Each structure stands twice: as C-alpha cells, then as structure tokens.
Amino acid sequence: MSNIIDISGLNKEYSGKKVVDGLNLCVSQGELFGFLGPNGAGKTTTIRILTTLTKPTSGKVLINGIDVARDPASVKSEFGVVQQHLSLNRDLTIAENLELHARLHHISRSERRKRIAELLDYVELSDHADYLIDSVSGGMKRRAMIARALIHRPKLLFLDEPTVGLDAQTRRRVWDLIRRMNSEGTTVFLTTHYIEEAEALCQRVGVLHHGKLIALGSPLELRQRLGMVAVELQEKENGTTYRYFPDRSSAARFIQSLPNTERVIMRESNLEDVFIELTGQKVIGD
Amino acid sequence: MLDAYSILWSDLAALKRRWPRYLITTLMSPILYLVAFGWGLGRGINLNGTSYLEFVIPGIIALTAMTTSFNGAGTRLNVDRLYFKSFDECLMAPVGLPSLLLGKALIGVVRGVLSSVGFLAVALLIAPHMHISLPFVLGLLLCCLTFAFLGVLAALLARSHEDMATFGSLILMPMTFLGGTFFSLAQVPFGLKMALYALPLTHASLFLRAAALDQPLPWASFLILLAFFAIFLCGGMLALKRMSV
C-alpha cells in the first residue's frame, strides 16, 4: 500500500527548544493512525506542519506525494482538518459554515448544496443545519467540524484531539463517525492524549515524547513488546511498582513467588503502561 | 476575486442577520460627535463662510469610515486569528494570499461604507446642501479601503488582543481628534500642521470636506491617501506571506 504521508527528518524549534525532534514517519493510504503523547509532546505542532500552518525548521513532508513546503497550494486540497480548538465561524449557522468551506474549495453551487445536505445527514445534524454555532452542544460543534473538513472529499483527514472536552457518550459517537469515515476509505491521522481513544480507534500508534517518536506499532504490538499482562505491586515504602509478563501463567507464577500477595493486582497491560515504561511519566500528567 | 468574495460572503451572511443592531451601535459615536461638536460647541461658529456644522460633518464621515473599516477588518481578524483560530481554516484552504487579504479587507470596507452612508443619511437631514458627488464617493471608498487594509495589517502583526487595543489607543485615538476632523488645519502652528499631514485621516477629511462643500478638490490629499492604501496593502501582503508556509 502506498504512503499518503511521508515525513523524513522533521524538526521544529522555537527559541532554540526542539518541539519536534528528527521525526521520521510514514502513514499508508486508508490507515487510521494515532499520535499519542501528553500535552506539549509536539503532536499539534506536527499536525500544523503537515497542514501548512507552520514552517518546519528542517526536514521534508510529502502528502500524497506532494512536497508541503514546495507546493502548499496543491497540497491543501488533499486533506481536511479538524482542529483541537473550536474553529467554526460563530456568526454563522452550521450549514453556512459548511457552505463557506465549500466555497473556499471552489465547489460549484449545485454540488455545494448536495454535499452539505449529505454531510449534515452523515453527521446527524440535518435538524440543526440552521442553528447558530453558539446555540448547539459541544458534541454537535465537533461533528459540524468533521462535516466541514469532509466537504471537499479529502483523501486524508487530520483530527487534532477530536474528542477533547466531550462527555463519554458523545466521545463514543465521534469514535463511531471516525471508524465509519475510515472504513469508507479516508485515511485518518489523529492525535490524542486519551489512551482508550488510541486503543479503541487506531490501527497503528506513534508514541511522541518531547518531540521524539519513541515507539511505533499497533496497540497490540506495543503491548506485546512490553508484556500482555501487568502486575501492580503496591508497597508502603516504594509506592506502586509494575512488572510485565507475556501471559497470565507467568504473571501468576511471579505472584505466587511473592512473600505477601495482599497488595497485588494482575490485569491486562495497556498503552498507558507502554508510555510509562518508555518515558517514566503518565500520558495525562498528574 | 471569487475567493475574496467567498470570504466576504461569510461576513455578509452574518451581517444580514443583525444589520439593524450593527448600524445603531456604529452610528452612536458619530451622532454623539455631531451633537456635541456640531450643535453644541460649534453653534454660531462660521469658518470662511461655512457653518461649523457643515464643516464638521464630512470630517465625522471620514472618522466613521476610518473607525468602522479598521474595526470591521482588523478587530474581527484579530479575534478570528488569535481567539477563535478560524483564520487558520482560511490559511489551510486553497485560496491565494492576495484573495485572502482582499477578502478580509473587504469585510471592513463593506462595514465602513454601510456606517458612513448611514451617518450621511442622518447628516443630510441636518445639512441638506451637502454635495454628494462622484469624487466624494471615490474619496469615501478610498478612505474605507485604506483603513480596512490598515486594520488587516495591524491584526496580522498583533500578537495579542492587547496589541490591537494599544494600536487603537496610540494610533487611531490621536488621529480621531487631530486628523482635521473637528478643526481646520489652517489654525494650527506650522510644525504641528506638518505632523498632522502625516496622518491618513487628515487627507481623508480634507478631500471629503472639499468634495462635500463643493470646493476645489485637493487631489494631492487623494494621492497621499492612495499612497497610504498602497503601503498598508503591501504591508499586509508581507505580513501574510511571513505567517504562511
């Protein structure tokens, strides 16, 4: 499968501080890829570089074979973006926001109307088409942003923290929408600091820490590298320590060998464990 | 041009919903100036055969055009860029930078023209002998364009909302009272007069006043205003190029 994103040697510095540090990454067409990392890891900066909003200090980015730095005008039609911030025009209705985006992408009048109706139906906002942005819920705003990003039928969709600030029910609704878009052929590149989001959605995950890609693979592969089963040992002196095992039987043998098993928890490992082992800190900071 | 219109379209759609409120709020200041300076302080004052009221109205029109064009383009862009981040959506769209710049400035121009015409309609009830000619309309349009592009330039350079407020306090506010709006520059000492000629509003006031009072037109002021427009346009283009990839 050909790559829709090809990043090589990407660096971004602000006042001498490296925010993205030597990033090399490829994302295949049709993939649902996730960038996992805590706030400040460099996820949003990377997306801003990929979407022509920020100039990299050095390195090369190809989107669908087009060099982002050399031909930003052409590359802009290749992707859609759902930003972390609510970037809808608040003076307009949901339908007008989509209309504006369609106009900026030079979609003809008749086609605009057709696509707006289709997409509002797709994100289940047809009944709220004429509502002003400030009069709808956070989940509806997020779905409107997704519809807007899809109006020019991009091959690639960037989602920067797509469910941040949403309640659990709305988050799952957005997840369903993301899965559906991906199953219909759109490549999705999302950033998140929610472990469960990366695990639930992504076929492959890149773990970013201080601007560096420190792990890459499917959630299962990353867990297998660490150990599929985690044992938490809660000790008065040292706090909680973690041990990882390839399977339950080896974890059970380890627990049986312990002198005191009162404060021991055995569970499946997750991407949080992977992140903690790699970086020594949690994805969502204390 | 079509892209510039698309950007303008979004503002027109918003304006269509609340133009009465917009007109009332933007007309409040010029009408207060008219009442305070034209009817209050200036009653009975005569300047070379022209009543002070007729003298001050074109100045207030220039002032209204300046304020509403600047704010219509600049303040909105500043908020869209730094607070709502919706300007990023325009930067990520396949729209040329000149169209983007023009579209954002046209938002100010439309609002400036709307407010100025609204005030003019009120002013004509008080001073029906004002001469609304083609040069007057051209001068008004140029005034709106100049200050709309200044607004866009300021918004692109501003790093915070405070920067815009500072720009308003240090540049627009002095211009409001010193830019030939409320008094004749003939009464001002030579040194200060030269300094005031460096302000774009001075030339807008001079040109609009001459056109409205059917006096010989100061085309030099028109050309200077045109030069300011060109400078602000180029400055805006450079600022936009600097921030985009």
Domain range for B207: 2-243
pLDDT (0 to 100) of residue A12: 95
CB A23 within 8 Å of CB A204: no
pLDDT (0 to 100) of residue A35: 92
Query: CA-to-CA distance for A37 and A42, rounded, in angstroms?
Result: 8
Residues written for chain B = 245
* The pLDDT of residue A105 is above 60: yes
Query: What mean pLDDT comes out for the span B77-99?
Result: 91
Distance from CA of B219 to the nearest CA of A (A): 39
Query: What mean pLDDT comes out for the span B119-147?
Result: 93
Q: Nearest-5° angle of CA B56, CA B61, CA B66?
A: 125
Distance from CA of B185 to the nearest CA of A (A): 42
Q: Does B97 touch chain A (CB under 8 A)?
A: no
Substitution target in A76, A100, A107 with the highest count of B β-carbons within 10 Å is: A100
> What homologous superfamily does CATH list for A3-222?
P-loop containing nucleotide triphosphate hydrolases (3.40.50.300)
pTM of the entire predicted model = 0.86
Query: What mean pLDDT comes out for the span A205-211?
Result: 92
* The pLDDT of residue B117 is above 90: yes
List the domain boundaries for chain A: 3-222, 228-268
pLDDT (0 to 100) of residue A282: 58
Q: Tell me B3's DSSP state.
A: H
Instruction: Tell me the CA distances in angstroms from A267 to A231, A234, A242, A247, B150, one per residue in order.
Output: 6, 14, 11, 10, 62
Return the residue of B nearest to A106 by Cα: B3
The DSSP secondary structure of chain A, one letter per residue, reads --EEEEEEEEEEEETTEEEEEEEEEEEETT-EEEEE--TTSSHHHHHHHHTTSS--SEEEEEETTEETTT-HHHHTTTEEEE-SS--S-TTSBHHHHHHHHHHHTT--HHHHHHHHHHHHHHTT-GGGTTSBGGGS-HHHHHHHHHHHHHTT--SEEEEESTTTT--HHHHHHHHHHHHHHHHTT-EEEEEES-HHHHHHH-SEEEEEETTEEEEEE-HHHHHHHH-SEEEEEEETTTEEEEEEESSHHHHHHHHHTSS--TTEEEEE--HHHHHHHHHSS-SS--
* The pLDDT of residue A239 is above 50: yes
Q: Does A68 touch chain B (CB under 8 A)?
A: yes
| Structural domains of chain B, count | 1
Return the residue of A nearest to B84 by Cα: A87
What tens digit of pLDDT does each residue of A46-94 get? 999 999 999 999 999 999 999 998 998 899 999 999 998 889 999 999 9
* The pLDDT of residue B153 is above 70: yes
**Predicted ipTM?**
0.86
- Using pLDDT thresholds of 50, 70 and 90, give the confidence band for residue A261: low
